[in-house]
Amino acid sequence: MSANAKYSNLAMLLHWMIAVLVIVTWRIAETAEEAPTREAAGAIMGNHFALGVVIFILVAVRLAWRRMNPPPQSLNHAPWERMLARGIHLAFYALLLVMPIAGWVAMSSFGEKISVFGLMSLPLLPVGIDPARGEAIFEVHGAAGITLLVLTAIHALAALKHTFLDRDGTLFRMLPLGRVKG
Protein backbone atom coordinates (compact mmCIF):
# COMPACT_ATOMS: atom_id res chain seq x y z
CA MET A 1 0.00 0.00 0.00
CA SER A 2 1.46 3.36 -0.97
CA ALA A 3 1.67 6.06 1.67
CA ASN A 4 -0.81 8.26 -0.17
CA ALA A 5 -3.44 5.57 -0.91
CA LYS A 6 -5.62 6.73 1.99
CA TYR A 7 -7.32 10.00 2.69
CA SER A 8 -6.01 12.14 5.54
CA ASN A 9 -7.39 11.59 9.02
CA LEU A 10 -9.21 14.93 8.90
CA ALA A 11 -10.75 14.09 5.52
CA MET A 12 -11.92 10.75 6.95
CA LEU A 13 -13.38 12.40 10.04
CA LEU A 14 -15.22 15.05 8.03
CA HIS A 15 -16.50 12.46 5.53
CA TRP A 16 -18.01 10.24 8.21
CA MET A 17 -19.34 13.14 10.31
CA ILE A 18 -21.12 14.58 7.27
CA ALA A 19 -22.46 11.15 6.27
CA VAL A 20 -23.85 10.45 9.73
CA LEU A 21 -25.33 13.95 10.07
CA VAL A 22 -27.02 13.72 6.67
CA ILE A 23 -28.71 10.47 7.72
CA VAL A 24 -29.67 11.89 11.14
CA THR A 25 -31.02 15.06 9.54
CA TRP A 26 -33.10 13.02 7.10
CA ARG A 27 -34.49 10.87 9.93
CA ILE A 28 -35.35 13.99 11.93
CA ALA A 29 -37.36 15.35 8.99
CA GLU A 30 -39.13 11.99 8.63
CA THR A 31 -39.92 11.97 12.36
CA ALA A 32 -41.32 15.50 12.18
CA GLU A 33 -43.77 14.42 9.48
CA GLU A 34 -45.23 11.92 11.95
CA ALA A 35 -45.47 14.42 14.83
CA PRO A 36 -48.92 14.64 16.42
CA THR A 37 -49.10 18.45 16.29
CA ARG A 38 -47.70 21.29 14.20
CA GLU A 39 -45.92 22.63 17.29
CA ALA A 40 -44.26 19.27 17.94
CA ALA A 41 -43.21 19.04 14.29
CA GLY A 42 -41.75 22.54 14.52
CA ALA A 43 -39.74 21.66 17.61
CA ILE A 44 -38.39 18.53 15.93
CA MET A 45 -37.57 20.42 12.73
CA GLY A 46 -35.56 22.94 14.74
CA ASN A 47 -32.95 20.20 15.11
CA HIS A 48 -33.12 19.51 11.36
CA PHE A 49 -32.42 23.17 10.60
CA ALA A 50 -29.61 23.42 13.15
CA LEU A 51 -27.92 20.29 11.80
CA GLY A 52 -28.28 21.69 8.28
CA VAL A 53 -26.15 24.64 9.39
CA VAL A 54 -23.60 22.28 10.95
CA ILE A 55 -23.48 20.19 7.76
CA PHE A 56 -22.96 23.33 5.67
CA ILE A 57 -20.02 24.37 7.86
CA LEU A 58 -18.48 20.88 7.81
CA VAL A 59 -18.79 20.68 4.02
CA ALA A 60 -17.16 24.10 3.66
CA VAL A 61 -14.30 22.93 5.89
CA ARG A 62 -14.08 19.66 3.93
CA LEU A 63 -13.83 21.54 0.63
CA ALA A 64 -11.20 23.93 2.01
CA TRP A 65 -9.20 20.98 3.37
CA ARG A 66 -9.52 19.15 0.07
CA ARG A 67 -8.27 22.22 -1.80
CA MET A 68 -5.18 22.42 0.44
CA ASN A 69 -4.71 18.63 0.64
CA PRO A 70 -5.68 16.98 -2.64
CA PRO A 71 -7.17 13.50 -2.32
CA PRO A 72 -5.01 10.47 -2.96
CA GLN A 73 -4.63 9.26 -6.51
CA SER A 74 -7.48 7.21 -7.87
CA LEU A 75 -7.14 3.45 -7.86
CA ASN A 76 -7.11 1.54 -11.12
CA HIS A 77 -10.82 1.87 -11.73
CA ALA A 78 -12.29 1.99 -15.22
CA PRO A 79 -12.53 5.48 -16.75
CA TRP A 80 -16.34 5.37 -16.62
CA GLU A 81 -16.19 4.52 -12.91
CA ARG A 82 -13.87 7.44 -12.19
CA MET A 83 -16.11 9.77 -14.20
CA LEU A 84 -19.23 8.55 -12.39
CA ALA A 85 -17.51 8.90 -9.00
CA ARG A 86 -16.42 12.43 -9.85
CA GLY A 87 -19.94 13.37 -10.94
CA ILE A 88 -21.47 11.95 -7.77
CA HIS A 89 -18.93 13.78 -5.59
CA LEU A 90 -19.65 17.07 -7.38
CA ALA A 91 -23.38 16.48 -6.92
CA PHE A 92 -22.80 15.72 -3.22
CA TYR A 93 -20.95 18.97 -2.66
CA ALA A 94 -23.48 21.00 -4.65
CA LEU A 95 -26.44 19.50 -2.79
CA LEU A 96 -24.78 19.73 0.62
CA LEU A 97 -24.08 23.42 0.11
CA VAL A 98 -27.24 24.46 -1.72
CA MET A 99 -29.74 22.57 0.44
CA PRO A 100 -28.96 24.44 3.69
CA ILE A 101 -29.02 27.76 1.83
CA ALA A 102 -32.37 26.84 0.29
CA GLY A 103 -33.67 25.95 3.75
CA TRP A 104 -32.50 29.32 5.04
CA VAL A 105 -34.22 31.14 2.16
CA ALA A 106 -37.41 29.14 2.77
CA MET A 107 -37.40 29.86 6.50
CA SER A 108 -36.76 33.54 5.80
CA SER A 109 -39.74 33.46 3.43
CA PHE A 110 -41.85 32.48 6.44
CA GLY A 111 -40.23 35.20 8.57
CA GLU A 112 -38.59 32.57 10.79
CA LYS A 113 -35.00 32.68 11.96
CA ILE A 114 -32.99 29.46 12.22
CA SER A 115 -31.74 28.74 15.72
CA VAL A 116 -28.56 26.70 15.93
CA PHE A 117 -29.22 24.74 19.11
CA GLY A 118 -29.96 27.97 20.98
CA LEU A 119 -26.33 29.09 20.60
CA MET A 120 -27.04 31.56 17.83
CA SER A 121 -29.68 32.35 15.25
CA LEU A 122 -29.18 32.96 11.58
CA PRO A 123 -30.64 36.33 10.60
CA LEU A 124 -33.52 36.51 8.19
CA LEU A 125 -32.38 36.83 4.61
CA PRO A 126 -33.80 39.91 2.85
CA VAL A 127 -36.16 37.89 0.65
CA GLY A 128 -39.45 39.23 1.98
CA ILE A 129 -42.26 37.27 3.57
CA ASP A 130 -43.79 34.89 1.00
CA PRO A 131 -45.06 31.61 2.46
CA ALA A 132 -45.92 30.26 -1.00
CA ARG A 133 -42.29 30.71 -2.06
CA GLY A 134 -41.15 29.09 1.18
CA GLU A 135 -43.38 26.06 0.57
CA ALA A 136 -42.16 25.74 -3.02
CA ILE A 137 -38.53 25.89 -1.88
CA PHE A 138 -39.19 23.24 0.76
CA GLU A 139 -40.70 20.99 -1.92
CA VAL A 140 -37.54 21.31 -4.03
CA HIS A 141 -35.43 20.89 -0.86
CA GLY A 142 -37.23 17.61 -0.14
CA ALA A 143 -36.67 16.36 -3.69
CA ALA A 144 -33.01 17.31 -3.40
CA GLY A 145 -32.85 15.35 -0.15
CA ILE A 146 -34.19 12.26 -1.88
CA THR A 147 -31.61 12.75 -4.63
CA LEU A 148 -28.90 13.02 -1.98
CA LEU A 149 -30.05 9.75 -0.39
CA VAL A 150 -30.08 7.95 -3.75
CA LEU A 151 -26.58 9.22 -4.53
CA THR A 152 -25.45 8.14 -1.06
CA ALA A 153 -26.75 4.62 -1.71
CA ILE A 154 -24.96 4.48 -5.08
CA HIS A 155 -21.77 5.78 -3.47
CA ALA A 156 -21.92 3.21 -0.66
CA LEU A 157 -22.74 0.34 -3.02
CA ALA A 158 -19.85 1.30 -5.29
CA ALA A 159 -17.43 1.37 -2.35
CA LEU A 160 -18.68 -2.04 -1.23
CA LYS A 161 -18.45 -3.43 -4.77
CA HIS A 162 -14.87 -2.25 -5.17
CA THR A 163 -13.87 -3.45 -1.71
CA PHE A 164 -15.49 -6.87 -1.63
CA LEU A 165 -15.96 -7.91 -5.27
CA ASP A 166 -12.96 -6.21 -6.88
CA ARG A 167 -10.97 -6.68 -3.65
CA ASP A 168 -9.10 -3.38 -4.09
CA GLY A 169 -9.80 -2.02 -0.61
CA THR A 170 -11.54 1.14 -1.83
CA LEU A 171 -13.57 1.46 1.38
CA PHE A 172 -10.40 1.40 3.47
CA ARG A 173 -9.16 4.58 1.76
CA MET A 174 -11.73 6.38 3.92
CA LEU A 175 -11.21 4.32 7.09
CA PRO A 176 -8.23 4.38 9.47
CA LEU A 177 -8.11 0.57 9.41
CA GLY A 178 -7.77 -1.97 6.63
CA ARG A 179 -5.52 -2.21 3.60
CA VAL A 180 -5.82 -0.62 0.20
CA LYS A 181 -4.55 -2.78 -2.65
CA GLY A 182 -1.37 -1.09 -3.87
* Model pLDDT for residues 20-67, shown as the tens digit of each residue: 999 999 999 999 999 999 999 999 999 999 999 999 999 999 999 999
DSSP state letter for 161: I
**Contact between residue 44 and residue 35 where contact means Cβ atoms under 8 Å apart:** yes
75-79, 83-87, 149-153: the lowest-pLDDT one: 75-79
DSSP state letter for 118: T
H-type helices in 34-161, by residue range?
38-68, 79-109, 131-160
The helix-helix angle for 79-109 and 38-68 (nearest 10°) equals 140
Cβ within 8 Å of residue 102, ≥6 positions away: 137, 140, 141, 144
Query: Vertex 94, ends 92 and 95: CA angle to 5°?
Result: 65
Whole-model pTM? 0.92
| Alpha-carbon span 169 to 104, nearest angstrom | 39
Q: What is the pLDDT of residue 177?
A: 87
113-144 pLDDT, tens digit each: 999 999 999 999 999 999 999 999 999 999 99
